[in-house]
A and B are shown apart, each in its own frame.
Chain A
């Protein structure tokens, strides 16, 4: 799972890259390279937002609020939401059943992580497909056909009629 987020976490200016479920449960998280220094924002995050669980919950709650707000307009759910504020920027990209969350340092443009986040969503898609294939491995070995309940007749050694 960390492979999905690794390319995001190494981008300068990224404080946190995480994958969260749609109900706000953190699935996986990586500290960004910018987290090496103990900045005021980190302290603020620790002091008030607490840990990642709280932060992920708040981010997911905001995503739900945003979705609910635009609901009466008959719009589809947003695929990408950005909240830029005075102390940093939160970017959420919605994927299949989960969202990729990135917390950026103040002054970093959200556009800089657009392509890497799209890439992370793509990797998440591929990984889920991979999990699907792994579960269906016996099917794959028989050319996509489910295995028969009884051994097939062709599997038995053939007996040729005596004297022929």
Chain B
């Protein structure tokens, strides 16, 4: 940016900051953040957005700006690291590259980076990062193959990384989430050898020990997770707090003329608005079957975790939003509008925050 450009940008930033000072509204935060975007100050964009979100939590535009700024920062760092690796490849750079890619959720790029690292140096830590990528895939898609690869790669990495607890912690997470308690117990025992006296590990060891009897093998547990589309720690009924928070949103959804029914399902419980009695039961059952079959189909087709399912026909439109711990759906006589879709996504998102908005 030229000197004149910088002067003009600074003047605009000062003006936006003054407006924000006199009226700290979300729109003024957005204006100031945009001025920083134009000036190319990504750190400032993040700072302003974070501050704005503390005051106006959940503001869509501020969130979008913050996400975009974070993404740009990651892009710049990844590009810089890739360039530096070409000239001077060393473990610290590979490690940072893999970590940054994993944190930003770019799993395919992280896989490639870890594989390149392993090919170049045969470093055990590269194996660990490959295991971590597979574990992330497993946690997202719940595919047994990814879970198995993560466990085996972490096991290889553990043998070669000596007293580094990370591979064992990864193995423990995979085993615990799928309910393979025997393997989890072994991992905790080995972790306690590396980290003796860790009170949280000791407590966990005792609780896992009680679940070890009649525990299934890792392979069976992984298959179970793939089949059910749920981890063992997700097998829980909604708390009353969730039901209270969900109901107003369901009522808001079903208030529209076009909407025939709005549903929220979690575990064996269904909250239905719009239809009553046997029809409500049938609709809830149909939605549950659809969620289950969509999860299975998406996994088998390697599409990952389903985020949205839409059925259209002479009955109108049925839109489902399967969340991690619950699913919401809306049946409309006409096409489902953008507003309905946003509400539905928000509703599914609430499933992960049990205590919110009670």
Chain A residues within 8 Å of B, Cβ to Cβ: 39-41, 44-45, 47-49, 55, 58-59, 61-62, 65-66, 68-70, 72-73, 75-90, 110
Query: Which residue of B has the minimal Cβ distance to A106?
Result: B304
- Other A-B contacts than A62-B301, A85-B306, 12 sampled, CB-CB below 8 A, are A48-B302, A66-B290, A70-B290, A70-B311, A72-B285, A73-B283, A73-B315, A77-B313, A81-B311, A82-B309, A84-B306, A85-B304
Give Cα A91–Cα B305 distance, bound, in whole angstroms.
16
Known: A41-B302, A45-B302, A78-B312. Is A86-B307 also a contact (CB below 8 A)?
yes
Give Cα A80–Cα B304 distance, bound, in whole angstroms.
21
* Residue pair B300, A85 in contact (C-beta under 8 Å): no
B307-319 toward A: CB 8 Å interface, digit per residue (1/0)? 1111111110010
* Residue pair A85, B298 in contact (C-beta under 8 Å): yes
Which residues B247-285 have CB closer than 8 A to chain A? 279, 282-283, 285
| A89 / chain B contacts, CB cutoff of 8 Å | 303
Give Cα A89–Cα B302 distance, bound, in whole angstroms.
11
Q: Is B83 an interface residue (CB 8 A)?
A: no
Distance to closest chain B CB from A112 (angstroms): 14
Known: A86-B304, A90-B301. Is A70-B310 also a contact (CB below 8 A)?
no
Known: A49-B300, A87-B303. Is A80-B294 also a contact (CB below 8 A)?
no
Distance to closest chain A CB from B141 (angstroms): 7
* Residue pair A55, B315 in contact (C-beta under 8 Å): no
Residue A83 contacts which of B285, B287, B303 (CB distance < 8 angstroms)? B303
Known: A58-B301, A79-B312, A86-B304. Is A69-B140 also a contact (CB below 8 A)?
no
* Residue pair B315, A76 in contact (C-beta under 8 Å): yes
Give Cα A124–Cα B6 distance, bound, in whole angstroms.
59
Known: A48-B145, A85-B298, A86-B305. Is A62-B293 also a contact (CB below 8 A)?
yes
Distance to closest chain B CB from A91 (angstroms): 9
Known: A69-B293, A70-B286, A83-B294. Is A78-B313 also a contact (CB below 8 A)?
yes
| A80 / chain B contacts, CB cutoff of 8 Å | 310-313
* Residue pair A49, B302 in contact (C-beta under 8 Å): yes
24 CB < 8 A contacts A-B? A39-B108, A44-B302, A48-B145, A48-B302, A59-B301, A62-B301, A65-B297, A66-B293, A69-B287, A69-B289, A70-B315, A75-B313, A79-B314, A80-B310, A81-B310, A81-B312, A83-B308, A85-B304, A85-B305, A87-B302, A87-B304, A88-B303, A89-B303, A90-B301
B residues contacting the other copy or chain, number (CB 8 A): 35
Distance to closest chain A CB from B101 (angstroms): 13
Q: Which of B140, B143, B307, B312 has the most CB of A within 10 A?
A: B312
Give Cα A159–Cα B195 distance, bound, in whole angstroms.
118
* Residue pair B311, A66 in contact (C-beta under 8 Å): yes
Q: Which of A80, A81, A83, A88 has the most CB of B within 10 A?
A: A83
Query: Which residue of B has the minimal Cβ distance to A68?
Result: B289
* Residue pair B286, A82 in contact (C-beta under 8 Å): no
* Residue pair A86, B140 in contact (C-beta under 8 Å): yes
| B304 / chain A contacts, CB cutoff of 8 Å | 85-88
Give Cα A49–Cα B304 distance, bound, in whole angstroms.
12
| B286 / chain A contacts, CB cutoff of 8 Å | 69-70, 72-73
Give Cα A32–Cα B303 distance, bound, in whole angstroms.
17
* Residue pair A75, B315 in contact (C-beta under 8 Å): yes
| B289 / chain A contacts, CB cutoff of 8 Å | 65, 68-69
B43-60 toward A: CB 8 Å interface, digit per residue (1/0)? 000000000000000000
| A70 / chain B contacts, CB cutoff of 8 Å | 286, 290, 311, 315, 318
* Residue pair B300, A58 in contact (C-beta under 8 Å): yes
* Residue pair A62, B303 in contact (C-beta under 8 Å): no
| A61 / chain B contacts, CB cutoff of 8 Å | 297
* Residue pair B314, A55 in contact (C-beta under 8 Å): no
